[in-house]
Amino acid sequence: MKARSISSAAEFQAYCEELRAKGQTLGLVPTMGALHEGHMALVREAAQHATLVVVTIFVNPTQFGPNEDFQRYPRDLAGDFRKCEAAGASVIFTPNVEDMYLPGDATRVQVSGLTEHLCGPFRPGHFDGVATVVTKLLALAGRCVAIFGRKDYQQLKVIERLVLDLHLPVRVVGHPIVREVDGLALSSRNAYLSSEERVRALAIPKALSLAVAEHRAGQRHSGVLRERVVAAFTEAELRVEYVSFVHPETLVPYADEAELPQVCVLAIAVFSGKTRLIDNVVLGLDAPPIVPGARG
Ligand code: AMP
């Protein structure tokens, strides 16, 4: 089905209102494009909660640091349109920067607490950029169900918080992480990896699976488990930014001396070569990223 393509913010807002007035309900999937199967799973999830799916594609400059990859972030609008239409999206919103950040733009949305942990200290300003652009997109879309991936677990929690705090008429739904057969989480940034870096990155799902297995077997010592995961990364020559066990809702980390609870999140950020990769698993709830016996 051909999707309606909109690039003007005012037109997008008016069209969303028009659709609702006609009795449609909207499922919103905000993305930065270079879409893959993970994004498509979000589109299909959106279709289960709403009568029409709206995908937004916007590489948001304010969430990138000065030394990050804004300029070279992968872009493939033609491919994105094809994939969205095949997955059943009805509207695709591709605003330009000047329409999202108007001349004289002076407003930022800042979520505190949740953003102090995990990626927060390593990417100053990142979550302000995310919270701001998502608030703008939700303000334009209006009442909807918005789908976000648990791949960006901290981002999901930040968005849940801002929707609550700002009384936005939006229901946020988190979608499980979509992985390759060998366990690597799908990410637009995987395109940066050389084949050798891609092989090394497999230590991520392996280490997370090891942590799931040990936690299931009763290992509750945060420091011991953390050391295991760090050692697996070091052995694979992945540079560790953080390996943290955190509370699933507050994201407050458990100290190395702490005893881990039945359910907690193991979140990691590592570099394979120059590419920064993040991943996570909810210990006590999620299946291991690498299912024993599955083909790799
Ligand atoms: P991005 O375009 O990378 O900013 O991601 C757009 C949305 O897709 C976010 O809600 C991400 O969490 C989600 N997403 C990206 N990769 C995956 C994945 N492998 N599994 C599930 N959701 C994902």
Residues 40-66 have pLDDT tens digits of 999 999 999 999 999 999 999 999 999
CA of 178 to the centre of ligand 1 (A): 9
Catalytic residue status for 126: no
Nearest CA to ligand 1 atom 13: 149
Nearest CA to ligand 1 atom 11: 149
CA of 27 to the centre of ligand 1 (A): 15
**155-170 residue pLDDT tens:** 999 999 999 999 999 9
For a mutational test of ligand 1's pocket, the pick from 32, 42, 147, i.e. the residue with the most ligand atoms closer than 8 A to its C-beta, is 42
Which residues have C-beta atoms less than 6 Å from ligand 1? 31-32, 38-39, 42, 148-149, 151-152, 175, 177-178, 185-188
Percent of the chain residues past pLDDT 90, beyond the cut: 98
Q: Give the DSSP per-residue string, 69-105.
A: STTTS---HHHHHHHHHHHT-SEEE---HHHHS-TT-
Q: Confidence band (pLDDT; 50, 70, 90) for 291?
A: confident
Contact (CB, 8 A) for 236 and 229: no
Q: Confidence band (pLDDT; 50, 70, 90) for 1?
A: confident
Q: What integer is the mean pLDDT of 99-120? A: 98
CA of 127 to the centre of ligand 1 (A): 15
Statement: residue 124 has pLDDT above 60: yes
Nearest CA to ligand 1 atom 7: 31
Tell me the C-alpha distance between 75 and 92, whole Å.
15
Contact (CB, 8 A) for 193 and 182: no
Contacts of 102 (CB under 8 A, 6+ apart): none
The model carries a pTM of: 0.97
| Cα–Cα separations (whole angstroms), residue 87 to 43, 55, 83, 143, 275 | 7, 11, 6, 22, 29
For a mutational test of ligand 1's pocket, the pick from 70, 77, 151, i.e. the residue with the most ligand atoms closer than 8 A to its C-beta, is 151
Residue 179 DSSP class: B
Tell me the C-alpha distance between 166 and 197, whole Å.
41
CA of 10 to the centre of ligand 1 (A): 26
For a mutational test of ligand 1's pocket, the pick from 39, 94, 184, i.e. the residue with the most ligand atoms closer than 8 A to its C-beta, is 39
